[in-house]
Amino acid sequence: MTLRQSLTGITCPIVTPFDESGVVDERALGDLLEYLLAGDIDGLFPCGTTGEFASLSRDERRRVTEFTVEQADGEVPVLAGAAATSVDDVLTAIEDAAAVGADAAVVTPPYFHTANAPAGNQQFFETIADESSLPLLLYNIPACTGQGIAPETVAALASRDDVLGLKDSSGDLEYFLETMRQAADADSDFLMLQGYDALLVPALRMGADGGVNALSNVAPEAYADLYETATGVRGAELQTAVADLFDACGEYGFAPATKTALEYHGVIPSAVVRPPLVSVPDDGQAGIERDVDGLVQSED
């Protein structure tokens, strides 16, 4: 099975558990990974947005990736987050990830200086791809980077063997479909992964290859089931079951809401996040707990 084939299905963008003093908690991370692997997740993505990568030091990113590779133990591929604002820093993150055994690297457009012309992002990604020792997964998340990756840019990169696919977290299905259409012309194997949980079933029904979804941290079995049954009635029911908890992610932030759900569910011991993120306020906890109960019940 090729790497692309392995990545059809659901990849989990794992949270990075911290202890009460804000230090990475490897024991909790180990418990989380065990929970996810038991839940039939198809891939692991440490150091993404939900993983608070931008609040981790270089050493922490490398170690979280290494630990994830060790725990995955070849069972599922590991895609290491390697986003940064400069070509050199992205390449450093990629080589760190390669050194500890990651299978691929996930890269966003730069997120302080946005490209002043359409060619800028393409040049940024091409320079990285030329130098990288790992294949790349493009990651579109304009809410965080200030600028999306144009469908034309994705299509231009899709023809390269070392660019596997796209994770799209824009929340814009028209963009997803247009990009899927243009990328398929360049490479029929290009992976289209839906990163916005509320659009997962519609994307799968339109031919997406899978999802990379924050809430698969909380309910991996429900997501695996959703992927298998997406085109049927069961898939729609599961999408509905996801909706309320996803609203909480929109309201309180992905890492705070997902960690709160995981703490309530007993997978990690603490929902601590690093600044500027703040924990879910007391009056938001009960709602999340109710949503978790609803989502986990839907797994049966």
Which residue's structure tokens are 């992976």? 191
Query: Nearer Cβ to a copy of itself, position 88 or 293?
Result: 88
Q: Angle 114-119-125 (CA atoms, 0-180°, nearest 5)?
A: 75
Rounded to whole angstroms, how far apart are CA atoms 19 and 95?
28
The least distance separating a copy of itself from the CB of residue 148, rounded to whole angstroms, comes to 13
Query: Phi then psi for 207, rounded to 5 degrees?
Result: 110, 10
H or E element that contains 126: helix 119-131
Query: Nearer Cβ to a copy of itself, position 41 or 204?
Result: 204
DSSP class of residue 241 equals H
CB–CB of 42/8 below 8 Å? yes
**Nearest Cα to Cα of residue 162 among 187, 142, 179:** 187
Distance from the Cα of residue 224 to its chain's centroid: 15
Rounded to whole angstroms, how far apart are CA atoms 205 and 199?
10
The least distance separating a copy of itself from the CB of residue 198, rounded to whole angstroms, comes to 5
Query: Nearer Cβ to a copy of itself, position 205 or 234?
Result: 205
Q: Angle 9-201-8 (CA atoms, 0-180°, nearest 5)?
A: 15
Query: Nearer Cβ to a copy of itself, position 67 or 111?
Result: 111
Query: Nearer Cβ to a copy of itself, position 41 or 128?
Result: 128
Which residue's structure tokens are 């109710």? 290
The least distance separating a copy of itself from the CB of residue 142, rounded to whole angstroms, comes to 10
Active site residues: 139, 167
Asked whether residue 231 is marked as a ligand-binding residue, the answer is no
Residues lying near a copy of itself in the complex (CB under 8 A): 49, 52-57, 83, 85-89, 109-117, 119-121, 123-124, 127, 143-146, 171-174, 177-178, 181, 196, 198-199, 201-202, 205-207, 236, 239-240, 243, 252-253, 255-256, 274-278, 281
**Nearest Cα to Cα of residue 198 among 209, 184, 213:** 213
Asked whether residue 68 is marked as a ligand-binding residue, the answer is no
The least distance separating a copy of itself from the CB of residue 1, rounded to whole angstroms, comes to 26
Binding-site positions for pyruvate: 50, 212
